[in-house]
Amino acid sequence: MDPEKKYMPEDNGHPMVATSDEKLPPKDPLASGERTTFPMTKFQILRNLFVVSFAFMFMFTAFQSLTNLQSTLNREEGVGTGGLAILYGALVISCLFVPPFVIGHLGCKWTIAASMVCYIVYMAANFYAIWGLMAPASVIIGLGAAPLWSAKCTYLTQMSVWYAKMTGATEDDIINRFFGFFFMFFQTSQIWGNLISSTVFAAEEKNQTLTYEELHDQCGANFDPLNQAAENNTNLDKPVPVKVYTVCGIYTGCAVLAFLIVVFALDTIKLDKKTTKKEGKLSFHLTVETFKHWLRSDYQKLLMVLTFYSGIEQAFIGADFTKSFVGCALGIWNIGYVMICYGVVDALSSFAFGRMVQYVGHIPFFVLAFLLHGGVQITFLFWVPDPDSVYLFYILAALWGMGDAVIQTQINAYYGYLFTDNTEAAFSNYRLWESCGFILGFAWGNFVKTSIKLYFTLSVLIVGMFLYAVTEFMERSRRKNEFALDK
């Protein structure tokens, strides 16, 4: 997603990368016909891809799993989901002007490392989850999240472009592969983190047994956070303090380990852009560029709704599915096991789809995501979550995970493909609109009935996919016209 410590001239519209102790050539060697030299070997690029992916896996083993538990673990006074809404609100503000300032001073590597410290602060706040601690911790992590993802997306995109030149492959192909590999590792964090929480919480007392009528009225699409009967459901009771402290301690340790991996194993890179006097200064330049990009780019406006959906669907599976369906019917300690299934399928699908897109293109996968998420949401509207049919919880979580794999890998890669000449503003828009989806998805958690959330989310999916189809039509028409002019 974004800038770096020094900016130099661009190479055919694409930023080049260089190690911190090497200088880029003053002119494009490809254009001049000279022998091309690269600041990184293929092995170094692949090693850095692995290091980034591995570090994010540890970090989000902690964060994503803790997020899945917020709606049940910290539901008193809405601290859990309320804190997450604050988090993404701060992220929206952050993504508009913080990344250039932080990355301008620290560079991509150290921006990632510094941002991870913000996540560690949030993990530590969960030891004593009250508004006085969770609110400021949520603001801190929100401010750090934008630079983290901006630096990561730019890091991957730049290495993808460089690797494509070295191998002769298309940039779209390599970008898809790299993002697919990254999200394969990233999504396995759902496995390890949820395995930790379920293992620690598994020894709780037996769950409350609900009748079919109670399940129908209190759980699933009919779950109403304002209904007193739902509040009296002991399946949603918070585990004993020693177990909460154990989980928070393990998660904090994972976050610290991720920070150390970045500090000691990740190589420094520079983006190839011209240095300006404003570089490294706190300004609203990215804010202006973000909205300029949105106003000027028809593609960006069309992709806005689907990007918003990316946030709201992740918020739904992490907060509403875990509470309204799994926690309500099966008990809080089963949330982790069900989400492991979600994470496994998401991770494997991310890797597979990232590899397969070169053969079939983006469209079939977006159609698959539409059918999967649309079908699951319609099922959620009418399904009564019954503990006697536990396998259905896992099947539906797996199908959602497969659809999410498409949404995450393909939207990221599609942004990288469409906006390679302006990744900074494009990925800032991505984080902006996705964060808006997260904000809504968490902010209404303690006030709105689950069925209303499902109807809204399904509507956003339908509109978003339609507008994506328009984007594909426009892009194909543009390429066809360019091909005709070249003849």
Q: Are 380 and 222 in contact (CB under 8 A)?
A: no
Q: Are 68 and 335 in contact (CB under 8 A)?
A: yes
Q: Kindly tell me if the per-residue pLDDT of 378 is higher than 90.
A: yes
pLDDT value at position 271? 66
Q: Are 254 and 59 in contact (CB under 8 A)?
A: yes
Mean predicted confidence (pLDDT) in 441-450? 87
Indicate the CATH number for domain 17-22+39-273+283-486.
Answer: 1.20.1250.20
Q: Kindly tell me if the per-residue pLDDT of 363 is higher than 90.
A: no
pLDDT value at position 302? 94
Mean predicted confidence (pLDDT) in 445-464? 94
Least confident among 56-70, 129-143, 268-282, 349-363: 268-282
pLDDT value at position 332? 84
Q: How confident is the model at residue 292 (pLDDT cuts 50, 70, 90)?
A: confident
Q: Kindly tell me if the per-residue pLDDT of 470 is higher than 90.
A: yes
Q: Kindly tell me if the per-residue pLDDT of 270 is higher than 80.
A: no
pLDDT value at position 3? 34
Average pLDDT, the chain: 83
Q: Are 308 and 436 in contact (CB under 8 A)?
A: yes
pLDDT value at position 426? 86
pLDDT value at position 90? 92
pLDDT value at position 6? 32
Q: Are 51 and 261 in contact (CB under 8 A)?
A: yes
Question: Each residue of 311-350: pLDDT tens digit?
Answer: 999 999 988 998 899 988 888 888 889 988 998 898 888 8
Question: Each residue of 253-264: pLDDT tens digit?
Answer: 999 999 999 999
Q: Looking up tokens 């000279």, which residue turns up?
A: 34
pLDDT value at position 163? 92
